[in-house]
Structure 1
């Protein structure tokens, strides 16, 4: 390549990086801009349309919290009504598409509010209604399930069966950081599981209501016990392959998933932070008394998460996420001293999926994640078949 072309390509790459870093629809409101970016990224997965998102954003005054709520609710209501009309006319596929987008728009409308706000309860009730309508029309039929956890607090999940179940089926559990909602997995990950012959159980920690009781359990130090309860539920059904249960812990706050996997040997493969966030917090505290490098080494020796996780683990992060790439790599190397079957994938700015939670390109991340899960579950099945043959 001529020197001039090389220089122009390099400059273009730098410009693209700067643009991706600097893009903000409302520069003074980073949280709302990030939420809009998430909504736009969901368009390629069927969770929104770009035009609806941009039209809604054009009507929003970010300084007016009520305005944000009203405009996203207006867009969500319109999508829900289109879905209902299509369903009455016998157009099930169109109804499902509109209900699915309404789910995401209602979630956006609820974004600024806490659990005590009556407006939140209203939009979440509508969101769940749309989700349930969508699930009812799937083929094979999906289920809304209650999962026992605490004595007075059960979890709710959406179980989407494998497309052509024959015997016991593999399942991937999708669960986000505390406070995230399971409804987003209906457009975000469901098709990736289905296309690879897996059932999917989407679950959250918000309980079986609209989340008003969540504040009572959010601060518990044993959130990881929810993972064991979810696995207990799956195994009690009788239609799940107990050797092919994978888990996707979505979000930066998913260390409770890593802790749950460390306590539960029944999980065959896990996509989570592998304890990186937990180790990061420990290292941050250690910086007050020692250098970062010494702190990480000391805390990794004391960390029980990596030491006790026995299944294969995949950690995925975006280069533009909250943690710096070099810092993450250093933490990962410390964890790998205790757990060799762990893999780190950092999505670079140059390939997208580099934002926090891969919100700028969830497709790229999900393709990688679900291919990894499928390979791991298939490898485990081949290993078990080999042992039976030898016997």
Structure 2
């Protein structure tokens, strides 16, 4: 499948939302920006990203898949050679980059494309190899939801300090996964003395691809089971558990916190206040490529069914019930818009929710969706905020 061919009338340039590689193809440009942001955090290299892009045909999704696969394969070979030679740090770095590049390659494949499953297995293989080389070793888990469904998850904890850790449960968005969060979260949370439970919620990552579990509005149920699991661990401080969700995950996190009182702080890193209204407006473009992914995630046959199911995800139905500290983060140039975050913030304020709003603007950078153009700024702010709410004191010795 190719994107519609548009007249090439603009050169690559830096804009408010960050680097725009193909101005005529905003969706591809956003995903390339996402890859650059991951590279900034160690899940890629800038030169390899630009090399892959230089070999792509703008608008040709097959070339997008092939070129990310190509650079990912190079990193796998490099990682295996390093591992065989005992160069563990180089192997670890290359396994993480390979996982991220494979993730990029998979983005635009149809759900029924056999390469989607094959590529996801490559993502997992490289993520798991990476987890086996970090210290402490990352744990590969499954969390039983109790209704016949299971969540895929990773658990990571700091390398030194306490033996009982405050913990953040984290998940991504509509096309996010725990594997993408491996580069985004650990550097900032672990260094501040917080453990991480990275989770594929229903409709995400391996929970969707391997277990065929579509999304659900009652996110408090799977999140509650994640908390139940954490409370069985002697290395988790059960009185200091926070929740982070990005994009669609920002809706899931707020819904879960509205019902689950064991959560002590919650973050929505970009959100859509009324996703039903947003998708209703987009019905005028029923053949748009986004509907292919939405139908898969929602488990629906038609765009109209997706819209109807999305009624249950409207944040006005639950955001006013949040009692713990709540942070909304949105970029000035988020493709979802800024107003949707302002609406959520003001609605929560009028319901006496202890809510805060952080807007990243173009002058500061981080103004794209989930700070894709500069994820370091977003994670610094978010993890500092969570650490404050969980009463974690940072020390010079831990820096």
TM-score (structure 1 length as normaliser): 0.82
Establish whether residue 47 from structure 1 lines up as the match of residue 60 from structure 2: no
The aligned counterpart of 2:4 is none
Pairing 1:352–2:373 present: no
Q: Does 1:126 align with 2:129?
A: no
Contact 1:153/1:207 (8 A) holds in 2: no
Give the drift of 1:207: 7.2
Q: Structure 1 residues 190 and 379, CA, compared in 2 at 3 Å: closer, same or farther?
A: closer
The aligned residue for residue 113 of structure 2 is: 117
Greater relative CO (CA pairs within 8 A, separation 6+): 2
Query: How do 1:217-366 and structure 2 match up within 5 A?
Result: 217-218=214-215, 220-272=216-268, 277-279=272-274, 281=276, 303-326=316-339, 328-366=341-379
Gap regions ≥5 residues in structure 1: 1-16, 286-301, 381-391
Tell whether 2:198 aligns with 1:202. yes
Q: 1:106 — aligned with what?
A: 102
**Residue pair 1:252, 1:357 contacting (<8 A) in 2 also:** no
Provide the rounded CA distance (Å) in 2 between the counterparts of 1:22 and 1:175.
Answer: 24
Correspondence for 1:193 among 185, 189, 194: 189
User: What is the TM-score of this pair, normalised by structure 2?
Assistant: 0.80
Alignment partners' CA distance in 2, 1:271 and 1:31: 25
- CA distance in 2: counterparts of 1:33 and 1:126, whole angstroms: 24
CA deviation after TM superposition for structure 1 residue 55, in Å = 0.6
| Separation in structure 1 between the aligned mates of residue 148 and residue 52 of structure 2, nearest angstrom | 40
Distance 2:350 2:207 in 1: 42
With over 3 angstroms needed to count, the CA separation of the structure-2 counterparts of 1:309 and 1:210, relative to structure 1, is closer
Q: 1:140 to 1:178 in 2, by over 3 A?
A: same
Deviation per residue, 1:169-196 (Å, 9 max, x gap): 1111111124411111111111111111
Q: CA deviation at 1:48?
A: 1.1
More helix by share: 1
SS in 2 for 1:351: coil
Distance 1:212 1:238, change over 3 A: same
Deviations 1:193-244 (A, max 9, x none): 11111111111125785733566523x3434421111111111223211111
Counterpart CA distance in 2 for 1:208 and 1:43 is 20
Number of residue pairs the alignment of both structures matches:
347
Q: What is the CA RMSD across the aligned residues, in angstroms?
A: 2.7
Q: Secondary structure of the equivalent of 2:324?
A: coil
- 2:225 paired with 1:212: no
| Match of residue 183 from structure 1 | 179
